[in-house]
Structure 1
Amino acid sequence: MAAFMPLFICGLCTLLLLAALYVSKSLKQSTLNMPPGPFPLPVIGNLHLLDIRRQDRSLMTISEKYGPVFTVHLGFQRTVVLTGYEAVKEALLNTADIFADRPAIPIFYHIQHGNGVFFSSRELWKTTRRFTMATMRDLGVGKRLLEERILEELHFLVDLIKSFKGGPFRLRFLNTAPTNITFAILFGKRFDYKDPTFVTLLRLIDEVMLLLGSPFLHLFNFYPFLGFLFKPHKMILKKVEEVCVILNKHIKESKKTINGNNLTSYIDALVFKQQEEKDKSNTSFYDANVLASALDLLMAGTETTSTTLQWAILLMMKYPDIQRKVHAEIERVLGPGCLPTFEDRKNMPFTNAVIHEVQRFVTLLPHVPRCTSTDTYFKGYFIPKGTTVIPLLTSVLLDKTQWETPDEFNPNHFLDADGNFVKKKAFLPFSTGNKRRRNCIGESLATVELFIFFTGLIQKFTFKPPPGVKESELDTTAEAGFTMRPHPQCACAVLRE
């Protein structure tokens, strides 16, 4: 006990010193005309005001008092939050270059070390992003070739669901098809759903995405120097390492067999580009960035579409009247035997509206932080270079000035009085920006996948709750992970005649 006391006193003094410096810094910042916000407490800042799992909801509550641009302190980190369509649009479209950088979020820095497509910055980000978008186009994204691959995958998904013969199956099984599309782009081939590599990757991705929503993971991001006290980030790094072993195996195989005239995968393209630039001293395609870019596509490319498809089927079970209207439109436009194409959405306004409303209602990705690349004034407030900025997408998708019934699932948000589909400017589920900036590189792919998979499934099946479960009992609250996921539930799919 005596030996412990000096260590305790030393730690206490350190915390008190940090707290004093923190308060001094906060008072100094208040004189710079930074956005207003709640006064930060020593050490914890404004964390006492947040629901750690649903920070987006807490931040929306704070904005009611301080306006659409305000400052919060997440531990020792000063963060500017933008809420509502007007503020987010102005930042991400009108002044996007200023808000284009990424802050060094501890867990992602430990995983990627500033490499890859998603959490890199500046020239490395621009080069890697430009290469990735060009490669995805070369591999068929945005073209009929990839649409045919999605239709082929739809057949496998339909067969999987048929195998349950109308009995309950886990909503998570819907992940298989969208994930396989991403894997086909990444590896150059689709996997059988029982393939050990496919099953392993699916499990690891699922576990990592759930751990990213852990409260202790958020605490690690706020206080990385206390990492020895927390467990989730260590578990994430271990699971990511298992994923990287599989990716490295495919990268090594690609290096042995690469043929510049026949690049069939994103990994092949990365390896070929690396070999092209191996003599350049300033190449962006070094081993760590090649691996990180492949990892980004694997993780981010599978989660968003897969989870949105789960939500879509869950909401059809919850609202059978809406499902019946989708059925009726599909029968009128496609009939029972004609497979959907992306072009069909123009003649299917209600189905298109339902898909858009699913994305709006579930607010899948509440926010991904940015940081300022230079000192700037925004909405009359000063924001220093390097400040973390949260464009709160939840607040846009639930903005009361943009949506008639923001808290309700209502496909009429995307329909006019005559039943025609209406595109809404505040529909920003993937963030926004022009092609040079931080808009989602997989948005076009996700849009095609969602329409074809959703329409194809509703064409073949009527989805119902499991026996003994009423529509009103289905849980549509979100489970926080990297994205807002539906809680684990089952569905029944009755084959339609």
Structure 2
Amino acid sequence: MSTFTVLILMYVCLAGVGVFLDYIFAKKNPQYPPGPRGLPLVGNIRDIPFVKPWLTFAEWGKKYGDISHASVLGMHIFVLNSAKTAVEMLDKKSSIYSDRPVVPMSGELMGYGQTLPYLRYGEHFRSFRKNFHRALGSRAALVVYQPIEEMETRRFLKRVLAKPDQLQAHIRHTTGAIILRICYGYEVKENNDPLVDIAERTLDEFSRHAYIGEFMVDFLPSLAKVPEWFPGAGFKRIARECRVTVEEMAAIPYKFVKDQMVAGIASKSFSSDLLKDRILTAEEDHIVKWSALSLFSAGADTTVSAIYSFFLAMTLFPDVQKKAQAEIDAVVGPDRLPSFADRTSLPYIEALVKEVLRWNVVIPTVDHSVTEDDIHDGYHIPKGSVIIPNIWFMLNDPQTYVNPSEFNPERFLAKDGKEPETDPRTLCFGFGRRLCPGLHLADASIWLTAAMSLAVFGVSKVVENGVEITPEIDPSSGLISHPKPFKCSIEARSEKASTLIQQDT
């Protein structure tokens, strides 16, 4: 046998061994889902979107299917573009899909790692959730706070009537006032309230800097050790300034509650309920303090976005507004404002709020992390991977919602023998054990603002120099998405409506 023949046989044998080893490896390590092709070593670092990432992720879904895969510097990322897949993974297997990835910038450096949205899955996380469930776990639990919401929303109507061109500021003020009362029993001043100022700075900084991957330190955690003066380390200064604001927002209102309790004059609130009749350890005190901040930070900015979206929709879709007002006029009448007691009698308003939550998605994507290796639909999901449900696409999926770009509250009403379409609240507040614990509070605030505002205000497009101005639908990027600032005309519907608004609260 010639040397050449021996070499050929050896090659064939080695090739056969290679195929066999590949087969064994494939069985033990199932393939990843399809996704954009990456570069050696750095992976998909050029493919990860930072501006409105949900749009790019939706394109991935069309190209690669319900689950797509990317990697950046060894970090595996799985994007879910299907509500069914998200439920199967994040709800049904929540025991392993409820972790959060470590986010060096906003979590560790900015200080948000001490709040519930950033907590790793474990005992601390469960303690926080227990606190939330005790105070806000159901609509029934929120009944005690309904008078606060109704009073502050009446004040909102007065502010809008007086200065309708400052709508967004009024929404922020009122939402902050409600959440500060519920969290801490703190009643804000009408103007120049110091705590409102800190709160607005906290929310603004979080909205601008909290998206994972916006800073390279999120992919290279070792950069966190670089000194602030080092070229390119400007993120360290941003993080330091933001951390000061976060620490103030956690400490100042919490001290207010404690001082009020010592004086015996504390109002009922989330914090006072957790503090009363208890001697807390240092760890328990820390959990109550940061639980309260978690409630505030999670609820305030998201609710602002949803309510602002409601006014944008009323500006753009006058026919919807007229139907909603006709229902209020028929059920509530002109002599009083709607209240929570009317909620079950106003199905169109209920459907309208659902459509607002679906149409302009407040949190388009959210990050989970998996604590164990998993196989889903034959795909390998390694421990520690980042899982991103694309909530925006799920709420705009034409297979779930007919003509999703159309604003149509009637999709949520049973009509002509057709079942209502999927309630967006089953998707927009998250999944599994990471479901937003303040969802009932947010839902109630949006509903009440919509019902009261429609009862007394007419909302329409602004006319400038004889030209009607149509607002642009262009939601912002970032962890929390807001409608692009817009102009609208807001006027009392009648003299009687104006009188209702001016009544003492």
**TM-score when normalising by structure 1:** 0.83
> Take 1:255 and 1:269, find their aligned partners in 2: how far apart are those partners?
11
CA 1:422 to 1:205, structure 2 compared with 1: closer, same or farther past 3 Å? Answer: farther
> Residue 51 of structure 1: CA displacement?
3.5
What is the identity, as a one-letter code, of the residue corresponding to 1:483? I
> Residue 34 of structure 1: CA displacement?
2.6
- In the other structure, the counterpart of 2:380 is 382
SS of 1:306's partner is helix
> Residue 29 of structure 1: CA displacement?
12
> Residue 452 of structure 1: CA displacement?
0.7
> Residue 117 of structure 1: CA displacement?
1.9
SS of 2:488's partner is strand
- In the other structure, the counterpart of 2:168 is 171
- In the other structure, the counterpart of 2:244 is 241
> Take 2:267 and 2:168, find their aligned partners in 1: how far apart are those partners?
35
- In the other structure, the counterpart of 2:438 is 442
Are positions 1:190 and 2:193 aligned together? no
> Take 1:99 and 1:162, find their aligned partners in 2: how far apart are those partners?
47
What is the identity, as a one-letter code, of the residue corresponding to 2:160? I
> Residue 43 of structure 1: CA displacement?
5.5
TM-superposition CA deviations, 1:243-295 (whole Å, max 9, x none): 4225323333444553699773333345558x6342xxxx74253x4443333
Which of residues 400, 403, 411 is equivalent to 2:401? 403
Q: Which runs of 5+ in 1 are unaligned?
A: 1-26
CA 1:425 to 1:257, structure 2 compared with 1: closer, same or farther past 3 Å? Answer: closer
Which of residues 266, 291, 312 is equivalent to 2:270? 266
What is the identity, as a one-letter code, of the residue corresponding to 2:197? T
- In the other structure, the counterpart of 1:132 is 132
SS of 1:377's partner is strand
> Residue 45 of structure 1: CA displacement?
2.6
SS of 1:168's partner is helix
1:211–1:232 CA contact under 8 A, matched in 2: no
**TM-score when normalising by structure 2:** 0.82
- In the other structure, the counterpart of 1:474 is 471
- In the other structure, the counterpart of 2:450 is 454
Are positions 1:484 and 2:481 aligned together? yes
CA 1:153 to 1:476, structure 2 compared with 1: closer, same or farther past 3 Å? Answer: same
> Take 1:472 and 1:77, find their aligned partners in 2: how far apart are those partners?
46
Which of residues 279, 304, 307 is equivalent to 1:306? 304
CA RMSD of aligned residues (A): 3.1
Point out the more displaced range, 376-385 or 442-451.
376-385
Are positions 1:251 and 2:247 aligned together? no
2:132–2:438 CA contact under 8 A, matched in 1: no
1:187–1:267 CA contact under 8 A, matched in 2: yes
What is the identity, as a one-letter code, of the residue corresponding to 2:89? A
> Take 2:27 and 2:109, find their aligned partners in 1: how far apart are those partners?
30
Counterparts of 1:77-92 in structure 2 under 5 Å?
A: 77-92=75-90
Computing the radius of gyration from Cα coordinates, the structure with the larger value is 2
> Take 1:76 and 1:30, find their aligned partners in 2: how far apart are those partners?
20
Counterparts of 1:406-417 in structure 2 under 5 Å?
A: 406-417=404-415
1:318–1:472 CA contact under 8 A, matched in 2: no
> Residue 463 of structure 1: CA displacement?
1.2
Point out the more displaced range, 369-378 or 224-233.
224-233
> Take 2:160 and 2:383, find their aligned partners in 1: how far apart are those partners?
51
TM-superposition CA deviations, 1:50-98 (whole Å, max 9, x none): 4421111111111222211121124542111111111111122221222
2:58–2:393 CA contact under 8 A, matched in 1: yes
CA 1:468 to 1:98, structure 2 compared with 1: closer, same or farther past 3 Å? Answer: same
- In the other structure, the counterpart of 2:8 is none
2:136–2:142 CA contact under 8 A, matched in 1: no
CA 1:99 to 1:474, structure 2 compared with 1: closer, same or farther past 3 Å? Answer: same
> Take 1:459 and 1:51, find their aligned partners in 2: how far apart are those partners?
42
SS of 2:482's partner is strand
Counterparts of 1:240-389 in structure 2 under 5 Å?
A: 240-256=243-259, 258=261, 264-269=268-273, 271=275, 276-278=279-281, 284-285=283-284, 287=286, 289-389=287-387
What is the identity, as a one-letter code, of the residue corresponding to 1:239? C
What is the identity, as a one-letter code, of the residue corresponding to 2:479? F
TM-superposition CA deviations, 1:318-363 (whole Å, max 9, x none): 1112111111111111112222233423322222212111110111
Q: Which runs of 5+ in 2 are unaligned?
A: 1-24, 495-505
> Residue 410 of structure 1: CA displacement?
2.1
- In the other structure, the counterpart of 1:24 is none
- In the other structure, the counterpart of 1:39 is 37
> Take 1:30 and 1:205, find their aligned partners in 2: how far apart are those partners?
47
What is the identity, as a one-letter code, of the residue corresponding to 1:276? I
Point out the more displaced range, 153-162 or 228-237.
228-237
> Take 1:233 and 1:423, find their aligned partners in 2: how far apart are those partners?
46
> Take 1:491 and 1:233, find their aligned partners in 2: how far apart are those partners?
40
What is the identity, as a one-letter code, of the residue corresponding to 2:39? L
> Take 1:232 and 1:325, find their aligned partners in 2: how far apart are those partners?
49
> Take 1:51 and 1:145, find their aligned partners in 2: how far apart are those partners?
43
Identity %: 23
Which of residues 454, 458, 464 is equivalent to 2:460? 464
> Take 2:47 and 2:306, find their aligned partners in 1: how far apart are those partners?
29
TM-superposition CA deviations, 1:421-443 (whole Å, max 9, x none): 9362565111133xxx2211111
- In the other structure, the counterpart of 1:162 is 161
CA 1:142 to 1:218, structure 2 compared with 1: closer, same or farther past 3 Å? Answer: farther
- The total of aligned residue pairs comes to 459
